[in-house]
Amino acid sequence: MPQFFIEAPKGIGHEAKQQLMSEVTDAIEEAYRMRPDIQVWLREYSGDDVAFDGRLYGDEPMRPVCFLEAPELADEDASRTMTKRINDAIEVAYRGIANTEETLILMNHYPLQHAGFQGRLQSDDPAVVEAVKRLNER
Asked if residue 126 has a cis previous peptide bond (ω within 30° of 0), the answer is no
Contact 64, 94 (CB under 8 A): yes
Please give the pLDDT value at position 35.
72
The SS3 of residue 128 is helix
| Bridging pattern class, strands 39-45 and 3-9 | parallel
Contact 10, 57 (CB under 8 A): no
pLDDT at 46 over 80: yes
Q: How far apart, in whole angstroms, are the C-alpha atoms of residue 130 and residue 79?
A: 20
Please give the pLDDT value at position 119.
93
Q: How far apart, in whole angstroms, are the C-alpha atoms of residue 118 and residue 43?
A: 25
Contact 69, 108 (CB under 8 A): yes
Total-model pTM: 0.90
Domains in the chain with CATH codes: 3-135 (3.30.429.10)
Return the closest-CA partner of residue 34 out of 4, 67, 2: 2
pLDDT at 36 over 80: no
Name the pLDDT band for 78 (thresholds 50, 70, 90): very high
Three state DSSP letters for 13-32: CHHHHHHHHHHHHHHHHHHH
